[in-house]
Amino acid sequence: MRLLVVEDQKDLNDIIVRKLEREGYAVDTCYDGNDALDFINNTEYDGIVLDILLPGITGLGILSEMRGKGNSTPVLLLTALGDVDDRVAGLDAGADDYLVKPFDFEELLARIRSLTRRGGSHTSSVMEHKGISMDTASHTVTREGEVLDLTAKEYNILEYLMHNVGRVISRDNLSSHVWNYNYDGGSNVIDVYVHHLRKKLENGEDGKKYDRVIETVKGTGYIIR
């Protein structure tokens, strides 16, 4: 999942980004409202963490512009303690949730997981399909009850495909949701990751073989049917 963090307090911004990246998220970041709009207008995000008080365009201004253009990306507002009017205005402007500073990082993670589920078709932290069970709260994946040892990128690829069962996902689309702006690889890198992920999904213990789940759509990308 790819997130945008917009927070003008650099120390707080850096902490949030580091912790989110440790959880396996691809994260882009900026410190003012004008840059945030550039990111949002040019990139498809799975969720946005947005401070209300920003240099340039405020968080509420960004949110209003997004929703006015039909951009429904889930947004979590960060707000100072006691700013009730701002929280109400944010929710009225189309924010999906808000979090009061200072906050506990575990709560931030839980709220982000909830936001990204709302952006897809799942309402639970557990997604299940064809014997695969993926718990986005604990970051565990099993197939037929067997726990799979996935790398962070393999997990993120599977998570995005599981959120889009039945939809063909292009390599460009996959890379834009699993990597951030620092990614400089090509489609062959994605193919290598998918190859390793398939092996882990299809080869069980004691030589047991499972049906292929991730199919290649020639010249386009991948799909879980």
Q: Per residue in 105-127, pLDDT tens? A: 999 999 998 888 765 555 567 88
DSSP 108-165: HHHHHHHHHHHHTT--SSEEEETTEEEETTTTEEEETTEEP---HHHHHHHHHHHHTT
Going by CATH, does the domain composed of 126-224 fall within 3.40.50.620? Answer: no
Question: Could you tell me where in the chain the CATH 3.40.50.2300 domains are found?
Answer: 2-119
Give CATH 1.10.10.10 domain extents, the chain. Answer: 126-224
Which regions in the chain score pLDDT beneath 50? none
Q: Which class does domain 2-119 fall in?
A: alpha beta
This prediction's pTM: 0.74
User: Could you report the per-residue pLDDT of 137-152, keeping only the tens digit for each?
Assistant: 888 999 999 999 999 8
